[in-house]
Structure 1
Amino acid sequence: MSTIHTSPTHTLASTARESWLVTGRDLRHWLRDPWTPVFGMAFSVMLVLVFGYLFGGAVALPGGGDYLAYLLPGMLALSMMFGVESTMAAMATDSRRGVMDRFRSLPMSGVAVPLGRAMADLLNSAVQLAVLMGGGLLIGWSVSGSLLDAFVAVGLLLWLRFAVLWLGIFLGLAFRSEGAMVAVQVLVWPIGFLSGVIVPPETMPGWLGVVADLNPVSATAAACRELFGNPSGITEGLLADHALLLAVAWPAVLTAVFVPLSVRAFRRLGA
């Protein structure tokens, strides 16, 4: 049974340095095999084109407005859900191959390895987000809010992504099986689409609209529409008045739950 060695003088600065070293290791893996993130970007752009042109003339928004302008912020939020299974797979693979045991044998913080993985995936997500936003602008999406509001919207999107990544990290450390990875992939799609990403919750059956309103992805999408100056598709309900608050609160709750669980799972590897 392996044990993790922790330096008695471990500081926040040393934890940050160790996390960045792990981040660099994961980024170098992508430089050697760039096709995974490239295909991820292409897939997100393809979804925008499919839904934008397939549903563009068929969806009437409550309160009016252009559907493409409604769709883009939703697809940006949805894209933050993609790739959780890849994060999980990377952590699980490193665990099975003994990489995590080598990390655990070093005098480093228990949070450095999972945090390094989260930061690497977050940087990858930031690039994907920029590509998707650029693709949206090319097909006619526009931002009518202020530049500061747009930066806040991007921050909320990455905040959601950061929280979701910790879910993938925890599951990868806790289960480490291919069956669990498939289960996560199956779970992500209903959570992503059972939201206000593609159509407004107000147009759904009553109970389904309530569930969609309570979805963290809906909160981030609604907040981003407000900040980008795009149609909200909302005339009443929880998100009409509290989208920004919920877009901050939901990821905070997920992070508060899954960061400690991930660190605990990392420390218990091999136990």
Structure 2
Amino acid sequence: MKSIILMIIFRVILMLSAFTCQANIKPKADYQYNKIQTLDTIRDEFNLKKKNLKNLINGKSPDVMLKFYEYYLQEKDISKADLLIPSILKSNDDVAYKYKISLISYNYTSDAKSKALFVSDANHIKEYRAYFLKSGISSLKTNKDIRAHYLGLVTLDSAYYKIAPDSLTKKQMGIHYNSLAWYSIVTQKLNDVEYYLNQSMKYDPESKYPLSNMPLLLLLKGDYKKAEALYIKLKDLPFEGSTLTFRDEFLEDLKLVEGEGIKIKNVEKIRRILIANKTVEVNIN
């Protein structure tokens, strides 16, 4: 009988403990929910106060102001967005915030504001360039963000090279210009790609990558005859390594561009030319 009573008491204690645990969990969940709701109201506050910029940003953190900046751009109110930039940087002028502003701006306006945000501050060009080099592109989620990154980097490269025109910086400029050209191609921003490729060859003449991108650019711009001639001229020349030729790089690039969902006119004709051997090419010509 005594053992039964002890067992009942033990079960009551267990039930009370479980109830206490549940009671402790619920307030925490409620707190998390309220926190999420608070974050959701940032947009509501923007909608309520957006016509009065001073009132909108009063007492706000740089992260919240950064969201307001994006909201203005979403609504295509670029002038209000631009007015917000000094307030963000006054609150926190760390290069990371300038970088975030640059990416957000580019995503909505195709303007990375590289000169205004980075090069205009001549005393920090070396520091800003080091930030770009260190941060790299691994954390960036889209090709648009990566293109914005390289727009900023080549702008800083050019400014820094005037201060420290050493061979390493020169070679890095060549690499970065080619990367900018590539991400311009895969985001279909073709207008300045030829310039980027020429700059890449100027600063890094030993690299074969910019030359390999030139016929692809011609093909995408619809200049088939020039593209075909350059493909034929280069395809059997050695590329990087002992066994690779330009042909291998050309075929890989076509595959990568198509993988981005980009349609390439006459691509199968070019593939046949690239795959064909020299004897077949002579007979065709």
Please say whether Structure 1 and Structure 2 have the same fold, judged by a TM-score greater than 0.5. no
State the TM bucket, normalised to the shorter chain.
Answer: under 0.3
Q: TM-score, normalised by structure 1?
A: 0.26
**Structure showing greater relative contact order (alpha-carbon pairs closer than 8 Å, 6 or more residues apart):** 1
Please state which structure has a larger fraction of its residues in helix: 2
Q: TM-score, normalised by structure 2?
A: 0.25
